[in-house]
Structure 1
Amino acid sequence: MKVIMLKDVDKVGDKHEVITVKNGFGRNYLLPRGLAIIGNASNMGRLNEMVRREDAQESKRLDVYKEMAQKLAGQTLKVGVKAGATGRIFGSITELSVKQQLKEQFGITIERKKIQLPEDAKEVGVYTLTLNLHPEVKQEMQLELAQD
């Protein structure tokens, strides 16, 4: 069954993406919850209009994203982690924990998928975190992993 995703669903698909799913999953989960619509000819025609409208709204938010980037420029996000005696952290740092810390420390809410974590953040220390706020606005800031 072909469906057009209306919202981002982890491990399934992103918004406005046309994907093929099993019939039962589409009929029993995606469609009733409003996460997707059937990918028939009429809905495929509406897809371009939905994407265009979404892009227009996103470009209106460009100033808001630039303001967020200016507020975060030069800032350091401190995240408390549990670590061993050698400084190696237990578990891993996630986009969700970074999102929560951004909200607590700076009062800024950013979507989880716009946060790009450093690959090598496995020990206590300072790393560079990238926030992809908009295709035109990317902000780097320091991420400090400190032992609790």
Structure 2
Amino acid sequence: MRLVLLADVKSLGKRGDLVEVADGYARNYLLPRKLAGEADKGAMAKLDAQAKARDRREAQEMADAQVLASRLETAKIAVKAKAGGNGKLFGAVTNSDIAAAIASELSVEIDKHKIELPAQIKALGSYPVEIRLHRNLVAKATVQVQAA
């Protein structure tokens, strides 16, 4: 029996996949649990429309991420932290501090988990930072740590 998956099924496929399964498996497991629907013309048309909408949404997200990446790569991201006389910080600059600096300077909210530091920042100076904006796009920004 040909079915369209309505949810991810571990041993079968992902949502939206067209699968061929045994009649009993479909009638007794997939259909009663609403994990799949019959692959008729209406379901196939709906599946195609969803795929096109997903592709358009993905393209728009990628375009927005590229614009943001160009802004991040050219921006001066300044983080102020307390430091001693020798340039060492009292503590460290974290992903949260960098996300807050980006939010205040560029008015863009970035999740702190998307900011990747090569090592802990414990001194004044300039540091390269990678920010994962999209599945296929990583922006490289420079963070300037200044004394508060």
Query: Would you call these one fold, judging by a TM-score over 0.5?
Result: yes
Q: How many residues in Structure 1 have an aligned counterpart in Structure 2?
A: 105
| Residue matched to 1:48 | 14
| Residue pair 2:89, 2:123 contacting (<8 A) in 1 also | yes
**Correspondence list, 1:103-122, <5 A:** 103-122=103-122
Q: SS where residue 73 of structure 1 aligns?
A: helix
Q: Which structure has the highest strand share of the two?
A: 2
1:25-79 CA deviation, whole Å, 9 max, x = no partner? Answer: xxxxxxxxxxxxxxxxxx76289329xx9x8655541111011011122222000
Q: 1:58 to 1:117 in 2, by over 3 A?
A: farther
| Residue matched to 2:93 | 93
**Structure-1 separation of matches of 2:94 and 2:88:** 15
Higher gyration radius (CA): 2
- Aligned residue identity for 2:129: L
| Residue pair 2:77, 2:143 contacting (<8 A) in 1 also | yes
Instruction: Quote the offset at 1:118 in angstroms.
Output: 3.1
1:65-102 CA deviation, whole Å, 9 max, x = no partner? Answer: 01101112222200000111111111111111111111
In structure 1, runs of 5+ residues without a counterpart are: 1-42
**Structure-1 separation of matches of 2:58 and 2:98:** 23
In structure 2, runs of 5+ residues without a counterpart are: 1-6, 17-50
**Structure-2 separation of matches of 1:141 and 1:114:** 13
Instruction: Quote the offset at 1:120 in angstroms.
Output: 4.6
Query: TM-score if structure 2 supplies the norm length?
Result: 0.60
- Aligned residue identity for 2:14: N
Percent identity between the two aligned chains: 20
Instruction: Quote the offset at 1:135 in angstroms.
Output: 2.6
**Structure-2 separation of matches of 1:105 and 1:58:** 27
Query: TM-score if structure 1 supplies the norm length?
Result: 0.60
Q: SS where residue 91 of structure 1 aligns?
A: strand
